[in-house]
Amino acid sequence: MTAHLKYHKFDFNTKTDRKFIKLLVTKKDVYQQRIDMDRIDFNSIKFENMPNDIHILGCWYDFNRDIFVFIIEYEDFLRVPEGAELETYNTKIIDCVRLIKLSKNL
């Protein structure tokens, strides 16, 4: 079972020139940094040992492995051939913008 946090519709089975990889971030790492995944600006996330100008295509929590999975795109990554496995890297979130929740009584 997978809970989607963010997902752009993208057919991964189509022929494409897009260049993307899969990043795995442990739940422990996310919660140690006090990141609320429901209130995060996904365009602001910076990962350890990754370029700053990446584009996040999708993110979800994998209950079986207890990790957050990010599919990211960057122009310098190698093109993913049709039917191939995505390269997978373990990483950490080093910075992000946390969104505040405004009261309805304002």
Tens of pLDDT, residues 74-92: 888 877 776 677 788 899 9
| Residue 32 backbone dihedrals phi, psi, to 5 degrees | -65, -30
Placement of tokens 């189509």 in the chain: 14
Cα(66)–Cα(63) distance, integer angstroms? 5
Indicate the pTM of the whole model.
0.74
Question: What is the predicted pLDDT for the residue at 16?
Answer: 54
Tens of pLDDT, residues 10-33: 555 445 556 788 999 998 988 888
**Using an 8 Å Cβ cutoff, are 59 and 8 in contact?**
no
| Domain ranges, ordered by start, for the chain | 2-9+16-98
End-to-end CA distance of the chain: 37
